[in-house]
Amino acid sequence: MNMVDIDRASVTDQTTDTESTTINNSEDKVLNIVNISAVSDGELRNGKDLMDSKTSIVEPKYPDNLDDLTRHFVYMSLSLFIGYKALLINETPVACLIKDEVTDKILSIGYNFTNISLNGTQHAELIAVKRLIDDPTINFKNLVLYVTVEPCIMCASFLRQCGIGKVIYGCGNDRFGGNGTVLSIHLDKNLLDDPYPSFGGIMRTEGIQLLRNFYIQENESAPQPKVKKNKDIDQKLFPPNEFNLTKEEFVSFYGSGREDVWESHDKEITPTIGKGYTLGDFIDLNVANEVPFLEEEMGKVDQDQINEFFHLFYDITDEGKVDYLKRIEKYNSKKRKLSEVTEV
């Protein structure tokens, strides 16, 4: 029996059982996916605790309106939907996309593929970059990677070696984070390749909630399936919102109007200052269908999937608070299998 340990992102949650999780390899699911070879990181030095070894990541004075971050939320929403599609095939729902800042086009997507491939290096970021690495026309400095969870140490090193322009992520990775939570691979001056700026916190609660929906699933193929405790993820609070940024770095990207988010630790970033949001504000079926490689590799996208995806998450209020009064749903792989059988 092929069993794969899930060693991807682990999100701090004081109300969550922290036991290690395993899931069965889904041999009946075969995707048209690129092969990722193992990447050797070499010796990685810790740049988090030694501030003098870190470069500055203050954003240059772009003409962008920092009061309106909607475009970042659109791309992160799409990354979350790609993660949801990974959840449907029993993969860890961590996903990303890569956008060209010059052309404003999505060039690539990636999603965890470790369980089906039985290859621990098949992380979302590596899959997304691998599509582009041999294209001589692409300038990696112009590329922005949007990923639902902070890159792990391996991926952070790979992104730096490739010369990625910028990384924007959702929630932190408390066990393996390579962009400031555990190690600051993206900024460490002791490493040879150029550093890259990284900013977290865009739709971080949605990134956490998507992972929660994965970790409550039971491994039905185990000899003695372990019943997961504390499945009431619709009643769990989120950990404090903390940033791996100085105040100056935070303001350079999120704008001075959001300083209270950096200071309070109990508010979320919103696309427009003083205005909340729901996922339906950013994507719909037409937008999802425009994402390259998505249907080709992960199957048809339909309105039922879009609706189920929306119902997994809380809204964020105008005050930047999670709307825990909203009734959300939990992904249920057993229910989906039963419905698929019924349809046949």
Instruction: For the chain, give the secondary structure using H, E and C.
Output: CCEEECCCCCCCCCCCCCCCCEEECCCCCCCCCCCCCCCCCCCCCCCCCCHHHECCCCCCCCCCCCCECHHHHHHHHHHHHHHHHHHHCCCCCCEEEEEECCCCCEEEEEECCHHHHCCCCCCHHHHHHHCCCCCCCCCHHHEEEEEEECCEHHHHHHHHHHCCCEEEEEECCCCCECECCCCECCCECCCCCCCCCEEECCCHHHHHHHHHHHHCCCCCCCCCCCCCCCCCHHHCCCCCCCCCCCHHHHHHHHCHHHHHHHHHCCCCCCCECCECECHHHCCCHHHHHCCCCHHHHHCCCCHHHHHHHHCCCCCECCCCCECCCCCCCCCCHHHHHHHHHHHC
pLDDT for position 17: 37
pLDDT for position 336: 59
What does the alpha-carbon distance between residue 236 and residue 172 come to, in Å, rounded to a whole number?
17
pLDDT for position 310: 97
pLDDT for position 278: 97
Question: What are the beta bridge partners of residue 24?
Answer: 3
pLDDT for position 339: 44
Whether residue 107 contacts residue 80, with contact meaning beta carbons closer than 8 Å, is answered with: no
Active site residues: 125
Whether residue 49 contacts residue 315, with contact meaning beta carbons closer than 8 Å, is answered with: no
Whether residue 180 contacts residue 54, with contact meaning beta carbons closer than 8 Å, is answered with: no
pLDDT for position 217: 81
Which has the closest alpha carbon to 332: 184, 177, 205, 220? Answer: 220
pLDDT for position 56: 44
Question: What are the beta bridge partners of residue 147?
Answer: 96, 169
What does the alpha-carbon distance between residue 319 and residue 296 come to, in Å, rounded to a whole number?
39
pLDDT for position 34: 38
Stretches where the chain sits below pLDDT 50 are 1-54, 56, 58-63, 221-222, 337-344
Instruction: Specify the amino acid at residue 206.
Output: E
How far are the Cα atoms of 91, 96, 285, 301 from residue 291, in angstroms, in the given order?
19, 11, 10, 10
Which has the closest alpha carbon to 256: 95, 102, 58, 89? Answer: 58
